Each structure stands twice: as C-alpha cells, then as structure tokens.
C-alpha cells in the first residue's frame, strides 16, 4: 500500500519497493481547477536535476515541455495530456540506474504558464497531488503519494516533491513549496540560465 | 572516417524552398552529398546521448542576458537554448522612429499541423492560427509594432520569417532595428538600415531545430510584394486575395 505523506514527510522508495526492486519510477502529477477567470489555464510539470550545491548540473538538466530528455536520457518528460495514466495530468519517468552520480536530487515543480500576466495562482488549483509509481505508470505499484493542501493564493509555481539519494537508497520527500515567480523563478533559483 | 564531422552546423539555409518549388527541384540532383537538409522541428530524439555529442561537435552562438547580440552579415545566426525557446514568451519588435515612415510588421509562419499563413496586421490578421483562442503567435502594439510567441506552445512552431513593409506601399527611409527579447531578458538585434526604397524587407527568420530556436539575420529585400517575399522563403502554400493580402 502506498505511503501517504504530509508536507515535509519522506519515505524510502527502495524499502517500499522491497523485493520488487527499484530500477525506475514514474512520477505522476495531477491537479484540478477550482475557479477560472475565463482565460486559458495552463499548468506544466518539470524536473530539475540538481547536485549537492543545489544547482542544476547544466541547463540541459532542466527537463520540461521544451526539453523532454536529460542529456544522458535518465529523466524523460512524457509530455502533456497523458493517455492511459488514469487521472494524472503529466508523467515524468526516471531511470534511477542511469541518473548521473553527481545528481543529489531531482525536484519536481508545477508552474502556471504566464500566471502573473493572467493573474492566475495556485489558489485557483484544487486536488493537486504527486505520486511515485515503481516502474511504468500503466502497471506499476504506487509507492508514495502526497496530496497538497496549501492555499497558495499568490504562488504561480510550486515544488510538489523531490527524489533524493540517501547512501544507497532513493527517497522521496513531499515538499509543497510555493513560488511567486513562476517557472522562470524556480528555474533561476536552481541555477538554470534563463537569459 | 566519420565524414559527418565535416557537415555544416545545424543552422538553416538562408532561403528554404518548399518541396516541389523550382529551386528545390534544381537541388534534387543525383548528387545526394550536396543535399542540404532542411531543419525539421519536433524531430523525435531517440537517443539524447547522440544529440549531445552532435551538439558538442560545433560551436553554437548563444545569446545571453546583458549587452545585446547584434546579428550582422558576418555573424548572422544565434541559437536560443531550449530554456530560452520554451519558457515564457518571445517578443519581437520593430524599433524605429517615425522618420522611417508607416512601417508595419508581419510574419509568415509554418506550424506543426502543416498550416502556413501570415500574421498581417495591416490586413487585420493578428493571431496564428487565425481565430485561435490560444494563439501560438500574436501581433502586439504599443510604442513599436511587433509579435509575441507563446513559448508554452514552442513545439508547435516549425519556422517563421518576420517581414516589415509600408502598408501604403510608400518609400520607407529604412532604419532602426528588429529587437528580439527572451523571457529572461536577453536581447538580439537585427539592424534594418538601408537606402530608402519601397518594398518588403525580411530581417529575420526563426527555425525550430530540435527544440532550439535558430534566429538568422536574412538581409533580404525585395521591391516586389509580400507574396514575393514569402515565396522566396518557401512559403508556397499560402492562399492570397492579391499580392499583398492573404486569404486567412
């Protein structure tokens, strides 16, 4: 049974996988809309592969809709509007066996496209969650899940969770940290050259 | 011997012809080694490692936040990173004084669905695709006329050319610059100075090459029509009411 996390909580994915083994995971993210102003509402998930210093290894280690694969191919964004993934809105696959050793964490933000210009925030988003599935999203077992409950009325982006290494284990932490500066702000904070 | 290492960088050719155009037919000789590949957007990248090696083989000119990158005949190409090509919006403005004349901005575009058409402010076409509730490209107004590209839909853009012209067909005193600005604040400028003349200038082209936008100063001018200018870049599938007015 999947571990349900609250904000700040963590779980060892390696231990949860147990005898199944843990080679790859699918990180699925979902959300609903509470209210809209009539404007198109566009949310995007992404992944930042960061080192011990908290910065991405390179700009190409920022995986998003415009850069679907990390350079070595260990992180793959499957794109918008996944079919067959249940209610998930976006899925990012991580081949844990090929994640570069220099990567200490993989951070998963969700951002509202041009949220500031359209006056859209996570206060208008409901039922947001992130779940980690062992293997493929279509047939893997859910190892962990975090349902976000924050009222982020001024945030246009939010880090839902992160995968991180702890000695020989892979762990997952529920983060729920909001940003008022959108995807660009999160990316910049993690050392991506937005210029 | 790996001859692929001798291939040119992945910058697009100056004037790309549509399949079947007379120019393309001339290129289709039996000598396949001379064939210049046309950049294809949304190309499936099956092996990211292979892509990375290919990218490392060439020096790619990049635009950074800070002093503007000025594209010239000697240095006509700059390639935006995937972040610059995918986050926020890309704005393009024709920055010039009133002394130039009644200069207007438009573009011919090709999107992933295969649709080719124009943003033509002088004719009331202000969104791409026309009538879309969520345009990929929009005309903008303000101090300077221009365009805005919605980069959340960056995968949908195959290529475009920006053209400037006089709506009345008058002689323009060409001056000023076409200014491209990334979401992060990097500036790319293309000078538009030349002798006074009536006609259509194409200062810039944009190609989506595997998720990176390649911007090229085209240095193209024709005394002819907008239809002539766009046809010179292979936009042959646009329907026209007349030489200056697209159907939609």
Closest-CA residue of B relative to A38 is: B133
Strands A157-166 and B77-79: unpaired
Lowest-pLDDT choice from A37-51, A60-74, B11-25 = B11-25
What pLDDT, on a 0 to 100 scale, did the predictor assign at position B243? 83
CA dihedral A27, B209, B153, B95 (to 10 degrees): 140
Interface of A with B in 50-69 (CB under 8 A): 59-60, 62, 64-69
Residue/partner pairs of B125-128 with CB below 8 Å, 24 or more apart: B125/B246, B125/B248
Classify residue A19 by burial, with Cβ atoms within 10 Å: 0-12, 13-18, 19+.
exposed
A180 or B42, greater pLDDT: A180
pLDDT digits (tens, 9 = 90+) for B206-239: 999 989 999 999 989 999 999 999 999 999 888 8
Residues in chain A closer than 8 A to B82 (CB atoms): 59-60, 66-67
A172 to chain B, any CB pair closer than 8 A? The answer is no
Q: Give the minimum alpha-carbon distance from B134 to chain A in angstroms, rounded to a whole number.
A: 7
When scoring B44, B47, B48 by the number of chain A Cβ atoms within 10 A, the one with the most, hence best to mutate, is: B48
Give the one of B49, B83, B182 whose C-beta lies nearest to A62's C-beta: B83
Check residue B209 and give its pLDDT.
94
Residue among B43, B87, B183 with most chain A CBs within 10 A, to mutate: B87
Distance between CA atoms of residues B80 and A171, nearest Å: 35
Q: Which of B66, B88, B211 is closest, CB to CB, to A184?
A: B88
Contacts of A114 in chain B (CB under 8 A): 88-89, 152
Q: Which residue of A has its CA nearest to B151?
A: A66
Using a CB-CB cut-off of 8 Å, the residues of chain A touching B85 are 66
Q: Find where tokens 């702000």 sit.
A: A185
A53-68 pLDDT, tens per residue?
A: 999 999 999 999 989 9
pLDDT-derived band of residue A80, with 50, 70 and 90 as boundaries?
Answer: low
Does residue A145 contact residue A25 with C-beta atoms inside 8 Å? no
Among the partner residues A42, A69, A183, nearest to B87 by beta-carbon distance: A183
Q: Are A184 and A162 in contact (CB under 8 A)?
A: no
* Backbone phi and psi for residue B84, each to the nearest 5 degrees, phi listed first: -65, -30
Residue B101 is predicted with a pLDDT of 95
Q: Which residues of A touch B66 (CB under 8 A)?
A: 195
- Chain B contact set for A100 (CB, 8 A): none
Determine the 3-state secondary structure of A187 from DSSP. helix
Q: What is the ipTM of this complex?
A: 0.76
Contact yes or no for A65 and B84 at CB 8 A: no
pLDDT in the model for residue B44: 41
Peptide bond into B129 cis (omega under 30): yes
Residue B53's SS3 state is helix
Which of B54, B83, B85, B135 to mutate to probe the A interface, most A CBs <10 Å? B83
Disruptive mutation site among B136, B152, B184, B211 for chain A (greatest number of A CBs within 10 Å): B152
- Write the pLDDT tens digit of every residue in B175-194: 999 999 998 889 999 999 99
* pLDDT band for position B22 (cuts 50, 70, 90): very low
Lowest mean pLDDT among A75-84, A85-94, A137-146: A75-84
Cα A117 to Cα A79: distance, rounded to the nearest angstrom: 24
- Across A9-38, average pLDDT: 90
At B45-102, the pLDDT tens digits run 445 545 544 444 456 788 877 789 999 999 999 999 999 999 889 999 999 999 999 9
pLDDT digits (tens, 9 = 90+) for B125-183: 999 998 888 899 999 999 999 999 999 889 899 999 999 999 899 999 999 999 999 98
* A60 to B52: CB separation less than 8 angstroms, yes or no: yes
Inter-chain CB proximity A65 and B65 less than 8 Å: no
Residue of B nearest to A185 (CA): B184
Segment 89-118 of chain A within 8 Å of chain B by CB: 113-114
The average confidence (pLDDT) of chain B is 81
Residue B9: predicted pLDDT: 39
Q: What whole-number distance in Å separates Cα of residue B131 and Cα of residue B135?
A: 8
Strand-pair partners of B217: B204
């Amino acid at each position: 049974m999947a571990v349900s996390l609250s904000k700040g909580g963590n779980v060892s994915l390696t231990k949860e996988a147990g005898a199944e083994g843990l080679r790859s995971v699918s990180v699925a993210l979902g959300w609903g809309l509470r209210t809209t102003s009539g404007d198109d509402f566009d949310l995007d998930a992404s992944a930042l592969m960061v080192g011990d210093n908290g910065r991405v290894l390179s700009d190409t280690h920022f995986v998003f809709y415009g850069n679907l694969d990390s350079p070595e191919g260990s992180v793959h964004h499957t794109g918008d509007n996944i079919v067959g993934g249940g209610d998930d809105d976006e899925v990012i696959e991580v081949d844990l066996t090929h994640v570069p050793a220099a990567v200490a964490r993989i951070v998963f933000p969700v951002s509202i496209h041009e949220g500031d210009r359209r006056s859209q925030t996570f206060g208008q988003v409901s039922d947001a969650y992130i779940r980690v599935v062992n293997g493929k999203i279509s047939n893997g077992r859910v190892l962990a899940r975090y349902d976000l409950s924050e009222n982020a009325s001024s945030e246009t982006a939010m880090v839902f969770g992160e995968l991180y290494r702890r000695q020989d284990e892979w762990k997952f932490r529920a983060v729920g940290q909001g940003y008022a500066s959108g995807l660009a702000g999160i990316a910049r904070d993690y050392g991506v050259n937005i210029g | 011997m790996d001859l692929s290492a001798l291939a040119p960088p992945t910058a697009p050719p100056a004037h790309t012809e549509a399949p079947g155009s007379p120019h393309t037919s001339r290129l289709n000789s039996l000598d396949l080694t001379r064939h210049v590949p046309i950049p294809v957007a949304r190309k499936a990248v099956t092996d990211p490692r292979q892509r990375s090696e290919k990218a490392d083989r060439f020096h790619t000119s990049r635009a950074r936040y800070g002093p503007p990158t000025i594209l010239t005949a000697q240095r006509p190409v700059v390639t935006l990173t995937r972040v610059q090509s995918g986050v926020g919006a890309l704005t393009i403005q024709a920055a010039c004084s009133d002394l130039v004349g009644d200069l207007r901005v438009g573009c011919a575009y090709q999107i992933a669905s295969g649709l080719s058409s124009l943003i033509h402010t002088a004719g009331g076409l202000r969104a791409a695709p026309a009538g879309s509730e969520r345009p990929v490209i929009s005309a903008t107004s303000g101090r300077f006329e221009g365009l805005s590209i919605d980069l959340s839909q960056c995968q949908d853009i195959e290529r475009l050319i920006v053209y400037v012209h006089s709506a009345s067909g008058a002689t323009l005193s060409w001056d000023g610059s076409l200014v491209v600005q990334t979401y992060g604040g990097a500036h790319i400028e293309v000078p538009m100075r030349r002798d006074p003349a009536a006609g259509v200038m194409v200062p810039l082209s944009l190609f989506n090459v595997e998720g990176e936008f390649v911007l090229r100063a085209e240095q193209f001018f024709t005394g002819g029509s907008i239809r002539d200018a766009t046809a010179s870049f292979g936009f042959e599938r646009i329907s026209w009411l007349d030489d200056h007015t697209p159907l939609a």
